[in-house]
A and B are shown apart, each in its own frame.
Chain A
Amino acid sequence: MIASKYKVGIVAGALILFGLVLTAYKVVSLDLPLWPGESREVWTIETKISFQPSDGPVDVELELPSGLGGWVTLEEHFASSGFGFSVVEEGDGKVARWSRQSLEHPTTLYYKQQAYRANRDLLPDFPVSEVEAPLLEADQRAAMERLVMDLRDRSSGPATFAALLIQELARSQPSQDAEFLLGTYRETSLRVMLDVLAYAGIPAHTVRGIQLQDGRRRQTLSALLEIHDGSDWQLLDPVTAVSGLPDNFFIWQRGDGAALRVMGGRDSRLEFALVSNSLSAKTVVSMEQRSDDFALLDFSIYALPVEQQGIFKGILLLPVAAFVVVVMRILVGLKTSGTFMPILIALAFLQTTLLVGLVIFLSLVSVGLWIRSWLSHLNLLLVARVSAVVIVVILLMAVLALISYKLGLDQALTVTFFPTIILAWTIERMSILWEEEGGREVMVQGGGSLLVAIMAYLVMSLSVVEHLTFNFPELLVSLLGVILLIGKYTGYRLSELYRFRDMANMK
């Protein structure tokens, strides 16, 4: 017996641990929220490529974002009517390629994606390439030399050097050297920065991406400056010199090179339209499971069609209700009529809401009992009598539904959710109990059943419970372990502390 106790303990412990570990894994690693109501900001990014075709074949290549910084793509969709289209792996990332032999009209290609930031990941390592000194005119070189010397004097390392450089170039009245450089370059200040950094021997490149702004249309790519400080890469905003990756920055492309290459066209433009939605975390995960990022989710409820998901949402609540019954019967010691009848009543309550459900249940059972007492005079065989009660219950339900509908009480229409057969058996049992043990026992058992049903209902209707059972079905394995443990509980029931209360007085 001792051995069996240990066996149960070990099995239960293992089950509980298994459920909790798997849950913890899903929370930590897959980022499933433990509490309901958490939402994720999902961005819909519509990329618009437009260009004027010139003669000859057209070839458009768009480098696709590769989920840097913890971004996860939920869905992507390409519009490419009339074009040959393919997505090819190229280096680290993917490239979308549209091609066509000839084109007459200006045309627009679309690429739409939905993405959200699952984690705040740091950027992965990036190879540091040899710094090549920029090709400069003599006067540019002299100005740059002076600028670099000045910045080196004032900085403590590559990071501060870059920050000072950004501030220097962004000032409304820059120093002569900086002004000269900005003036002779025909390009953006970013180009100047990259050259100055290269001149100073600091590895640097741009990180292109989108500044996320809800509702923004015709957004263009913007850039961050990424420099290598000797040990790590660091991101800097080329205007404000703030370091780090901004929250609203969606990285499209890291390193030099163009994000968009159009051959056989001109005036090409890359523009973005942005919409942000707050979707529940559940939805996000369910969308996500279609991408194969997480093999584990493929085996979750989310892998089922939406309809089956709805059914499972209810089924997965049953173990929790069973747990309530176990606790109330073994630990508290409530008497119920039928072991799991309270669960079925509780399920009906879920559909009808508690108060309406109670009223319907009590009125059906009491009228049923009254009619059943009349049936008992007819001296019928048991099965026929229960069947008669079933029919009576159904008729009562119909009458109740009709009357309430005519009175405009729509809630009572939910009466159909009550399990008819269970109601009939309840009525039959109660009626026998009444005859044999008296009304008091009927009240004790009926009241006990109803109390347990109400508690099971309250537990099942907690949104936390629904969320946990649906998203973490493995918690039910833990629940199984706990139920096994309770099955070995040899202590007193709460009701026994009352039942034997007078025994304390004995000698």
Chain B
Amino acid sequence: MIRLVAPSTLRRLGILGMNRRNISFIGANNPRRNYQLVDNKLLTKKAALERGIVVPELYGVIEHQFQIDHIMEQVQDRDAFVIKPVQGSGGKGILVVVGRDGDRFVKSSGSVIADRDLRRHTSNILAGLHSLGGRNDFAMIEALIDFNPALAEYSYEGVPDIRVIVLRGVPVMAMMRCATHASDGKANLHQGAVGVGIDIGDGHSIAAVQHGSLVTHHPDTGACFKSLRLPDWDAILDLAASCAEMTGLGYLGADIVLDRQRGPMLLELNARPGLAIQVANQEGLIHRLRMAEEIAATAPDHAARVRLARDRFHRPEPVFPEEPVAFPSGAA
């Protein structure tokens, strides 16, 4: 028998469902014309630079098939770089090269690929394989994030990124996504990455979830999530909140990484942020979104919004399981 939860329970907990998200938050807050800025990563990057928001350095853009031959010239003196589609969705089509093995490239998973694999991947990107609606696309090459070593132990073969949901400039909920062996170095929760709920108030961890079950430790590195407290929390919230003004989107998810030297960095924006953040935080979004609407209506400026949000959404007590489970299996 499949166990279901009553809709009334979900409503009481304030869990946001897909339909409600689409109509009441995305549809009501995000004007269609502003999507372009978010869906196109080059435009995002350009707008961010104009506002002084830190983004990964852009090495180059490949717009046409014939330029693929030049790809080698653009990366020949780089040890590490990332190739991604300009209009990719859901983290698809991102190739991360972390090092060189002579002429060949080492991926983040440790596997080695030849330059023809690189060309094929780029060619697929240009044909629109990974892009929204299958449109023709550009490929962009940018710097690999040299992520903050304080977080290194929380991620396996990948960069841990921080997702902050922002409603009308008010940070509402946050989580850190940690790649695992099961997720193949990707930070997608449904593929087995661990989602760690982060307190808006001070950046400490609230709960950690893998495959929908609560965990205390990273399954591969063994790091304990209980003691996690994100550095530069002020800067992270500030960055996330300013993205709202930059894009004109009332409801968005900002993906932020912590760079060793440059601090919080905007990786990408998402006009349709997913619902898994509620599971990672063990809390529904709706109550907070309603409060955020009040804050947005009353707070005079950017700083006041962030301050009020930190005040209202602070949760002192985490919800980690009592008995530490050393290496929980992935099965839910």
The residue that A503 contacts in the complex, of B19, B20, B24, B284, with Cβ under 8 A, is B284
Give A465 to B19 CA distance when docked, in angstroms.
28
Q: Would B92 and A497 count as touching, CB distance under 8 A?
A: no
Quick check: is B52 within 8 A (CB to CB) of the other chain?
A: no
Q: Would A497 and B5 count as touching, CB distance under 8 A?
A: yes
Give A502 to B191 CA distance when docked, in angstroms.
18
Q: How far is the CB of B119 from chain A (nearest CB, A)?
A: 7
Q: How far is the CB of B186 from chain A (nearest CB, A)?
A: 9
Q: Would B19 and A493 count as touching, CB distance under 8 A?
A: yes
Q: How far is the CB of A206 from chain B (nearest CB, A)?
A: 71
Quick check: is B70 within 8 A (CB to CB) of the other chain?
A: no
Interface residues of B in 65-119 (CB under 8 A from A): 65, 92-93, 116, 119
Q: Would A491 and B19 count as touching, CB distance under 8 A?
A: yes
Q: Would A490 and B127 count as touching, CB distance under 8 A?
A: no
User: Using Cβ atoms and an 8 Å threshold, which residues of chain B touch A501?
Assistant: 3-5
Q: Would A506 and B19 count as touching, CB distance under 8 A?
A: no
Per-residue contact bits, chain A 244-286, to B (CB 8 Å; 1 contact, 0 not):
0000000000000000000000000000000000000000000
Quick check: is A55 within 8 A (CB to CB) of the other chain?
A: no
Quick check: is A295 within 8 A (CB to CB) of the other chain?
A: no
Quick check: is A65 within 8 A (CB to CB) of the other chain?
A: no
User: Using Cβ atoms and an 8 Å threshold, which residues of chain A touch B139?
Assistant: none
Per-residue contact bits, chain B 28-41, to A (CB 8 Å; 1 contact, 0 not):
10000000000000
User: Using Cβ atoms and an 8 Å threshold, which residues of chain A touch B5?
Assistant: 497-498, 500-501, 503-504
Quick check: is A407 within 8 A (CB to CB) of the other chain?
A: no
Q: Would B278 and A503 count as touching, CB distance under 8 A?
A: yes
Total chain A interface residues with beta-carbon distance under 8 A: 29
Q: Would A490 and B17 count as touching, CB distance under 8 A?
A: yes
User: Using Cβ atoms and an 8 Å threshold, which residues of chain B touch A490?
Assistant: 17, 19-20, 23-24
**Knowing A382-B128, A491-B7, A500-B5 touch, does A330 contact B28 (C-beta < 8 A)?**
no
The residue that B278 contacts in the complex, of A379, A493, A500, with Cβ under 8 A, is A500
Quick check: is B180 within 8 A (CB to CB) of the other chain?
A: no
Q: Would A502 and B213 count as touching, CB distance under 8 A?
A: yes
Interface residues of B in 272-316 (CB under 8 A from A): 275, 278-279, 282-284
Q: How far is the CB of B130 from chain A (nearest CB, A)?
A: 8
User: Using Cβ atoms and an 8 Å threshold, which residues of chain B touch A506?
Assistant: 13, 282-283, 319
Q: Would B24 and A1 count as touching, CB distance under 8 A?
A: yes
Q: Would A1 and B15 count as touching, CB distance under 8 A?
A: no
Quick check: is B212 within 8 A (CB to CB) of the other chain?
A: yes
User: Using Cβ atoms and an 8 Å threshold, which residues of chain A touch B282?
Assistant: 503, 506
Quick check: is B9 within 8 A (CB to CB) of the other chain?
A: yes
From A438, A488, A493, A503, name the one whose CB has the most chain B CB atoms within 10 angstroms: A503
**Knowing A1-B28, A503-B278 touch, does A498 contact B7 (C-beta < 8 A)?**
no
Interface residues of B in 123-158 (CB under 8 A from A): 123-124, 127-129
Quick check: is B331 within 8 A (CB to CB) of the other chain?
A: no
Quick check: is B49 within 8 A (CB to CB) of the other chain?
A: no
Interface residues of A in 460-507 (CB under 8 A from B): 488-494, 496-504, 506-507
Quick check: is A359 within 8 A (CB to CB) of the other chain?
A: no
Quick check: is A333 within 8 A (CB to CB) of the other chain?
A: yes
Interface residues of A in 143-199 (CB under 8 A from B): none
Give A17 to B328 CA distance when docked, in angstroms.
56
Give A381 to B136 CA distance when docked, in angstroms.
12
Quick check: is A383 within 8 A (CB to CB) of the other chain?
A: yes
User: Using Cβ atoms and an 8 Å threshold, which residues of chain A touch B326?
Assistant: none
Q: Would B10 and A497 count as touching, CB distance under 8 A?
A: yes
Quick check: is A121 within 8 A (CB to CB) of the other chain?
A: no
Q: Would A333 and B18 count as touching, CB distance under 8 A?
A: yes
User: Using Cβ atoms and an 8 Å threshold, which residues of chain B touch A504?
Assistant: 5-6, 9-10, 13
Q: How far is the CB of B214 from chain A (nearest CB, A)?
A: 8
Q: How far is the CB of A377 from chain B (nearest CB, A)?
A: 10
Q: Would A436 and B92 count as touching, CB distance under 8 A?
A: yes
Quick check: is B260 within 8 A (CB to CB) of the other chain?
A: no
The residue that A383 contacts in the complex, of B7, B18, B127, with Cβ under 8 A, is B127
**Knowing A333-B18, A490-B24, A491-B17 touch, does A507 contact B10 (C-beta < 8 A)?**
no
Closest partner residue, chain A, to B127 (CB atom): A382
Closest partner residue, chain B, to A500 (CB atom): B15
Closest partner residue, chain B, to A497 (CB atom): B4
Give A501 to B17 CA distance when docked, in angstroms.
13
Q: Would B18 and A497 count as touching, CB distance under 8 A?
A: no
Closest partner residue, chain A, to B125 (CB atom): A382
Quick check: is A358 within 8 A (CB to CB) of the other chain?
A: no
Quick check: is A432 within 8 A (CB to CB) of the other chain?
A: yes
User: Using Cβ atoms and an 8 Å threshold, which residues of chain B touch A489?
Assistant: 19, 23
Q: Would B13 and A503 count as touching, CB distance under 8 A?
A: yes
Q: How far is the CB of B5 from chain A (nearest CB, A)?
A: 5
**Knowing A381-B65, A382-B128, A506-B283 touch, does A492 contact B4 (C-beta < 8 A)?**
no
**Knowing A330-B19, A492-B10, A493-B17 touch, does A502 contact B127 (C-beta < 8 A)?**
no
Quick check: is A437 within 8 A (CB to CB) of the other chain?
A: yes
The residue that A498 contacts in the complex, of B4, B11, B19, with Cβ under 8 A, is B4
Q: How far is the CB of B210 from chain A (nearest CB, A)?
A: 12
The residue that B18 contacts in the complex, of A436, A488, A496, A507, with Cβ under 8 A, is A496
Quick check: is B262 within 8 A (CB to CB) of the other chain?
A: no
The residue that A496 contacts in the complex, of B2, B17, B28, B116, with Cβ under 8 A, is B17
From B2, B5, B92, B283, name the one whose CB has the most chain A CB atoms within 10 angstroms: B5
Q: Would A379 and B212 count as touching, CB distance under 8 A?
A: no
Q: Would B10 and A382 count as touching, CB distance under 8 A?
A: no
Q: Would B129 and A432 count as touching, CB distance under 8 A?
A: yes
Q: Would B191 and A438 count as touching, CB distance under 8 A?
A: yes
**Knowing A1-B28, A333-B18, A502-B212 touch, does A492 contact B7 (C-beta < 8 A)?**
yes
User: Using Cβ atoms and an 8 Å threshold, which residues of chain A touch B2?
Assistant: 498
The residue that B119 contacts in the complex, of A330, A379, A488, A498, with Cβ under 8 A, is A379
Closest partner residue, chain B, to A436 (CB atom): B92
**Knowing A503-B10, A503-B13 touch, does A379 contact B213 (C-beta < 8 A)?**
no
User: Using Cβ atoms and an 8 Å threshold, which residues of chain B touch A438?
Assistant: 191
Interface residues of B in 233-262 (CB under 8 A from A): none
User: Using Cβ atoms and an 8 Å threshold, which residues of chain B touch A383?
Assistant: 127
Q: How far is the CB of B264 from chain A (nearest CB, A)?
A: 28
Q: Would B127 and A491 count as touching, CB distance under 8 A?
A: no
User: Using Cβ atoms and an 8 Å threshold, which residues of chain A touch B119?
Assistant: 379
User: Using Cβ atoms and an 8 Å threshold, which residues of chain A touch B212?
Assistant: 499, 502
User: Using Cβ atoms and an 8 Å threshold, which residues of chain A touch B13?
Assistant: 503-504, 506
User: Using Cβ atoms and an 8 Å threshold, which residues of chain A touch B51?
Assistant: none
Closest partner residue, chain B, to A383 (CB atom): B127
User: Using Cβ atoms and an 8 Å threshold, which residues of chain A touch B3?
Assistant: 498, 501
Q: Would A379 and B120 count as touching, CB distance under 8 A?
A: yes
User: Using Cβ atoms and an 8 Å threshold, which residues of chain B touch A437?
Assistant: 191
Q: How far is the CB of A427 from chain B (nearest CB, A)?
A: 14
User: Using Cβ atoms and an 8 Å threshold, which residues of chain A touch B275?
Assistant: 496
Nearest 5 A/B pairs, CB to CB: A382-B127, A490-B20, A492-B17, A497-B4, A379-B120
Q: Can you name 10 extra interface pairs (CB under 8 A) apart from A491-B20, A493-B19, A502-B213?
A: A379-B116, A382-B127, A489-B19, A492-B19, A494-B4, A498-B5, A500-B10, A500-B15, A504-B9, A504-B10
Q: Which residues of B contact A (CB under 8 A)?
A: 2-7, 9-11, 13, 15, 17-20, 23-24, 28, 65, 92-93, 116, 119-120, 123-124, 127-129, 191, 212-213, 275, 278-279, 282-284, 319
- List 8 contacting pairs A-B, 8 Å CB cutoff, sorted by A: A383-B127, A432-B129, A490-B23, A492-B15, A497-B5, A502-B279, A506-B283, A506-B319
Q: Which residues of A contact B (CB under 8 A)?
A: 1, 330, 333, 379, 381-383, 432, 436-438, 488-494, 496-504, 506-507
